[in-house]
């Protein structure tokens, strides 16, 4: 069954929950809301802090297991599953795997519910995090170009299609991991921001290199198959053409955009924090949160 709510709604509900985790101060960073006087909600630039990157997933509700799942897994029915983008369509998962290396904390987050009434109840009870599963991309590992899912019940988690059991984290596990990372961090957010930006950009470059290598392998395989058929190059179709010629495109006149507020000019660490949040959102499709000790 398809979830009755969007990934945006789930992500908003989960963030609302985790910012209230009392042992820590967790601030979601939205680039457009960073201002000189109010830097990303409550981030204390002169305090230590660590990044948390979250990618929100909706999970389909599965009533029955396939024969393969009954034979090769310990999953109970019903269970949930969310799709991990395969390499043939997107480098998204590879990006997250690279970001998950080193000192970054990166998770897929998915709910253990699928109905609108359930997310509303979890919101009211402040249990969205408790009713969620968190999976590190590095736990899933690098994937091929086939379709892959993460399937889970209350106890176990698997990567599909060829089932392989993996570890998952609860909200308490995430909290403990963040606390341990924070205890080891002595540098302030202000001093560490250039390093965090550099780590994110290096992760993107590593993913780009691996994707280029895969693309080279795909092209080599196509040429080999074409050679076997006695062709000079692989069969394919010209983009934008059909057997009767160029596909006509009707010109569409779009209305002028609604004026928006100009993003303010920021200095130093404020600008760097905004840049890191933009990299997280636009390059990795994740929500950046800054995790710090709670002020007493």
Quick check: 23 and 135 in contact, CB under 8 A?
A: no
pLDDT value for 227? 80
Q: What is the pLDDT of residues 221-277, one digit of tens each?
A: 888 888 877 765 555 544 444 445 556 667 778 888 888 766 566 668 889 999 999
Q: What is the pLDDT of residues 105-162, one digit of tens each?
A: 999 999 999 999 999 999 999 999 999 999 999 999 988 878 899 999 999 999 998 8
Using CA atoms, how far apart are residues 133 and 37, in angstroms rounded to an integer? Answer: 36
What value does the mean pLDDT take over residues 41-64? 92
pLDDT value for 187? 94
- CA dihedral for 224, 225, 226, 230, sign (positive or negative): positive
Q: Which long-range contacts (CB under 8 A, 24 or more apart) does 139-143 make?
A: 139/166, 139/167, 139/168, 140/84, 140/93, 140/97, 140/108, 140/166, 141/97, 142/93, 142/94, 142/97, 142/210, 143/84, 143/86, 143/87, 143/93
For residue 215, give both structure tokens.
């693309």
Of 185 and 213, the structure prediction assigns the larger pLDDT to 185
Provide the pLDDT confidence category of residue 292 given band limits of 50, 70 and 90.
very high
pLDDT value for 40? 47
What value does the mean pLDDT take over residues 184-210? 95
- Give the torsion through C-alpha atoms of 208, 210, 215, 217, to 10 deg: 160
Residue 280 reports pLDDT greater than 50: yes
pLDDT value for 238? 47
pLDDT value for 91? 87
pLDDT value for 115? 97
Q: What is the pLDDT of residues 53-110, one digit of tens each?
A: 999 999 999 999 998 999 999 999 999 999 998 766 778 999 999 999 888 999 999 9
pTM of the model: 0.85
pLDDT value for 248? 65
What value does the mean pLDDT take over residues 156-173? 95
pLDDT value for 214? 83
Helix axes 189-228, 92-99, angle to 10 degrees: 140
Provide the pLDDT confidence category of residue 217 given band limits of 50, 70 and 90.
confident
**Which segment, 34-48, 144-158, 191-205, is predicted with the most confidence on average?**
191-205
Domain ranges of the chain: 7-204+267-293
């Amino acid at each position: 069954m398809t979830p009755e709510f969007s990934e945006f709604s789930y992500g908003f509900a989960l963030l609302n929950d985790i910012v209230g985790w009392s042992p820590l101060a967790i601030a979601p960073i939205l680039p457009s809301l960073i201002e000189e006087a109010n830097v990303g909600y409550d981030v204390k630039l002169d305090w230590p802090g660590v990044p948390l990157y979250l990618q929100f997933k909706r999970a389909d509700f599965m009533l029955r297991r396939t024969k393969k799942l009954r034979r090769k897994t310990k999953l109970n029915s019903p269970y949930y599953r969310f799709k991990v983008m395969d390499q043939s369509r997107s480098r998204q998962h590879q990006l997250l795997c690279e970001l998950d290396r080193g000192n970054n904390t990166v998770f897929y987050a998915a709910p253990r519910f699928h109905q609108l009434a359930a997310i509303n109840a979890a919101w009211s009870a402040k249990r969205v995090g408790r009713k969620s599963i968190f999976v590190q991309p590095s736990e899933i590992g690098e994937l091929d170009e086939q379709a892959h899912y993460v399937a889970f019940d209350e106890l176990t988690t698997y990567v599909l299609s060829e089932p392989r059991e993996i570890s998952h984290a609860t909200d308490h596990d995430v909290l403990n991991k963040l606390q341990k990372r924070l205890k080891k961090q002595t540098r302030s957010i202000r001093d560490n921001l250039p390093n965090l930006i550099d780590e994110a950009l290096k992760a993107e470059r590593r993913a780009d290199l691996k994707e280029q290598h895969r693309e080279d392998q795909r092209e080599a395989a196509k040429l080999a198959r074409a050679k076997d058929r006695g062709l000079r190059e692989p069969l394919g179709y010209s983009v934008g053409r059909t057997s009767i010629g160029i596909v006509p495109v009707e010109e569409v006149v779009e209305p002028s955009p609604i004026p928006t507020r100009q993003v303010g000019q920021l200095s130093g660490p404020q600008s760097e924090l905004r840049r890191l949040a933009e990299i997280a959102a636009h390059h990795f499709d994740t929500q950046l949160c800054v995790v710090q000790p709670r002020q007493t």
